[in-house]
């Protein structure tokens, strides 16, 4: 790419420090593909065994060999520039990009047996993939794609359809409506992982809005109920309480029996009220045969 000054700008090269080789290798593969050299890094290219074999090549084959050597040197340069000095000795002796790449794979991914064991572990992680109710779509997809990219870095072929189907099976029950809608309206063989993520993110946002609205409504209802209950308790308390020196509550007064026309206007209090009530009851009975326990005479009695 030409800059303002006319110089060629080199792509930014990710630096490997000995950690997270799998992620670094993915970024390097992208870089190699952008420079049209990944095939040479992965598979190498045929070279004549000696000068006599080279002379036997046609001119077109010689031109192709020259072009391959030039592109391979470019790929080797990227590998050498993409690591710290402590890592460089591992590829210092390599004269071809494939040699350097294979040396790094063996050092940081292990031999074929080790790679097979890691691949089996990643396959198990992929099969056990399950989204929790507390997870977000974004965090779940990040975790899922990390496993999938690791599988691909070990040479496993993982098609988008397999990823889409697995993710749909791994979602919690609250996503059942959108899962059913996707399965009925979409062709899963043509649905990309990015499209699926977009649909699920939209559904998650609607769920979050609904949940927030329900929570606010419940809070307002509880607050309103608390205020109403407080007023009710206050009114009941006023109905039972009569301030000293003041009138009784009208609700309390309405429950009192209506006084007869002959009743005294001054209300009675305490035990005097009970005595008056007992006296009126006594007047309803014949007291001629009743003997007073105090004076021993008949016709009356002393309370």
pLDDT score of 297 = 78
Q: In this model, does residue 302 exceed pLDDT 80?
A: no
pLDDT score of 200 = 93
Dist CA 6 CA 1 (whole Å): 9
In a domain, 131, yes or no: yes
Q: Domain check: are 82 and 160 in the same one?
A: no
In a domain, 38, yes or no: yes
Q: How many domains does the chain have?
A: 2
Q: Domain check: are 89 and 147 in the same one?
A: no
In a domain, 302, yes or no: no
Q: Domain check: are 188 and 126 in the same one?
A: yes
In tens, the pLDDT along 47-94 reads 999 999 999 999 999 999 999 999 999 999 999 999 999 999 999 999
**Helices then strands (H, E): number in the chain?**
12, 0
Q: In this model, does residue 274 exceed pLDDT 60?
A: no
Q: What is the mean pLDDT of residues 248-256?
A: 45
Q: Domain check: are 122 and 206 in the same one?
A: yes
* Listed residues 166, 184, 211: the one ending a domain: 211
In tens, the pLDDT along 137-195 reads 999 999 999 999 889 888 889 999 999 999 999 999 999 999 999 999 989 999 999 99
In a domain, 137, yes or no: yes
Q: In this model, does residue 291 exceed pLDDT 90?
A: no
A 10 A CB-CB count for 285 gives: 9
Dist CA 104 CA 6 (whole Å): 35
Q: Mean pLDDT over all residues of the chain?
A: 79
Q: What is the mean pLDDT of residues 121-130?
A: 94
* Residue-number span of the structural domain to which 64 is assigned: 21-48+60-99
Q: Is the CB of residue 175 less than 8 Å from the CB of residue 203?
A: yes
* Listed residues 187, 211, 235: the one ending a domain: 211
**Residue 59's closest CA among 67, 71, 50?**
67
Angle at 158 between CA 25 and CA 176, to 5 degrees: 120
Q: Domain check: are 94 and 120 in the same one?
A: no
């Amino acid at each position: 790419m030409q800059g303002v000054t006319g110089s060629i700008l080199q792509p930014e090269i990710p630096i490997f420090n000995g950690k997270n080789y799998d992620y670094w290798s993915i970024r390097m593969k992208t870089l190699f593909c952008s420079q049209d050299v990944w095939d040479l890094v992965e598979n190498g290219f045929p070279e004549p065994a000696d000068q006599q074999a080279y002379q036997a090549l046609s001119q077109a084959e010689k031109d192709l060999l020259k072009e391959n050597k030039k592109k391979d040197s470019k790929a080797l340069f990227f590998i050498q520039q993409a690591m710290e000095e402590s890592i460089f000795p591992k590829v210092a002796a390599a004269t071809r990009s494939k040699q350097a790449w294979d040396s790094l794979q063996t050092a940081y991914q292990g031999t074929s047996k080790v790679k097979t064991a890691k691949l089996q572990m990643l396959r198990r992680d992929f099969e056990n993939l399950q989204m929790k109710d507390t997870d977000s779509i974004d965090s779940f997809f990040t975790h899922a794609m990390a496993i999938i990219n690791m599988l691909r870095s070990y040479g496993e072929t993982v098609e988008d359809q397999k990823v889409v189907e697995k993710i749909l099976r791994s979602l919690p029950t609250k996503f059942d409506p959108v899962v059913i809608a996707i399965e009925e309206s979409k062709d899963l063989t043509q649905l990309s992982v990015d499209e699926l993520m977009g649909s699920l993110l939209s559904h998650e946002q609607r769920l979050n809005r609904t949940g927030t609205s329900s929570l606010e409504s419940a809070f307002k209802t509880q607050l309103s109920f608390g205020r109403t209950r407080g007023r009710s308790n206050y009114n009941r308390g006023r109905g039972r309480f009569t301030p000293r020196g003041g009138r009784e509550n009208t609700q309390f007064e309405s429950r009192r029996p209506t006084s007869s026309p002959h009743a005294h206007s001054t209300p009675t209090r305490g035990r005097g009220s009970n005595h008056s009530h007992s006296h009126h009851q006594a007047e309803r009975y014949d007291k001629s045969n009743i003997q007073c326990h105090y004076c021993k005479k008949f016709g009356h009695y002393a309370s």
